[in-house]
Amino acid sequence: MVWLPEIRKKVIYLDQFFFSGALRGKDPRFKVAAERVKRMSHLQLLVAPYSSVHEDETHQWRGHEGMTKDQLMEFIKATSHGAEFEKDYSIERTQVLKSWEAFLKGQPPEYVFEDRDAIQGRLDEWDDYFRIDVGGYIRDIELRRRLKEDAVAELVKVLDQWQISTQTFDEAVSLEIHDAARQYLNTYLTMLKRHAHGDFSAAINSPIVAKVVEHMMHWLPEDQSLQERVQRCTEFFRSPYFSEVPYVWLSSHMFATMREMVKRGAFSNRNEARGRLSGMFEDIKHISLFSPYCDAIVIDKFMADLVSKPTINLQGRYGVEVFSLSNWDALLNWLDGLEAAMSEEHKAGVAAAYD
């Protein structure tokens, strides 16, 4: 038995480009940073969880320069020491249902964060030497690739509309939030119609967002009619409680900010835009879902610039340090600062644990 002091680890989200850059080994900046992350994790100061978005992106990857997707995924998991975020859809559901509960109880609409909402395990526990990886990926890779390509193609078409749009920024944000709310309600009502017409597979293969509304309905009195309960859900989706859901707030402001950039001339070359926007939806997804639970994120230059704009101000709103190749030295200094701030008790605990 060895006494170990209480700890509280920092959380960092490493974007896919970080892992692929480190694994390729061509740019020494990635290797240095990856070794620094591993050291801070070894010292029980930092955790770099991998996510379902990492898995989706990696399994869609076709390999590059002799690297396979399996090698990349193994590298990601090794760097994370097995730490993992909850599934993306689970975090989304948790955020909406917590805000729904606050709405029903008349509590303030500001979202209250809890680590357990997004991160498996506890940040105040010491890691063991070992991790056990249960492999397997069951999503349709080719379907996801095709949907991604279609989504990017549609986004490029929308750029023309954004360029001539007269909407204000606030109107664009409201439209994004309205569209998100409509998707929740419409998918749920579609699932009910399928049930009513005898399609009992609707309970299995309906979009996950439909299930979120189904959970919401269970919170309402059974003696209320379906119409009354749907109306109550609609009131929630039109309220500040929904617009304050972290992933809704971030994604709506990110798309609205991109609109403003396009109106000012960004992505004017549509062919180049297709390449630059190829990973846009995944980037917006992981930033809006995971970053509020992190102390720092490492993302590519474009996204770092986007979330640092005043209309988003990720660091100011959620206290997240934003790093990219534009401020790589700041990332290294931040990591070094974790070790420099170690208490003597923590150092003694590390020495005892790894003796």
CB 330 within 8 A of CB 275: no
**What contacts 147, CB < 8 A, 6 or more positions away?**
none
127-148 pLDDT, tens digit each: 765 554 545 544 555 555 565 5
Among 19-33, 106-120, 150-164, 292-306, the least confident range: 150-164
Residue 9 is inside which H or E element, if any? Answer: none
- Residue 137 pLDDT: 42
3-state percent helix, strand, coil for the chain, nearest multiple of 5: 65, 5, 30
327-350 pLDDT, tens digit each: 999 999 999 999 999 999 999 998
Higher pLDDT, 311 or 138: 311
Higher pLDDT, 17 or 89: 89
- Residue 195 pLDDT: 87
According to the per-residue pLDDT averaged within each range, which of 62-66, 74-78, 342-346 is highest? 342-346
State CA 198 to chain mean position distance. Answer: 36
Q: What is the mean pLDDT of the chain?
A: 85
107-126 average pLDDT score: 89
CB 38 within 8 A of CB 1: no
- Residue 67 pLDDT: 58
Higher pLDDT, 64 or 172: 172
How far does the chain reach from its first CA to its final CA, in angstroms?
12
235-262 average pLDDT score: 96
Give the CA angle between residues 126, 129, 132 to the nearest 5°: 105
280-301 average pLDDT score: 92
User: What phi, psi does 342 have (nearest 5°)?
Assistant: -60, 135
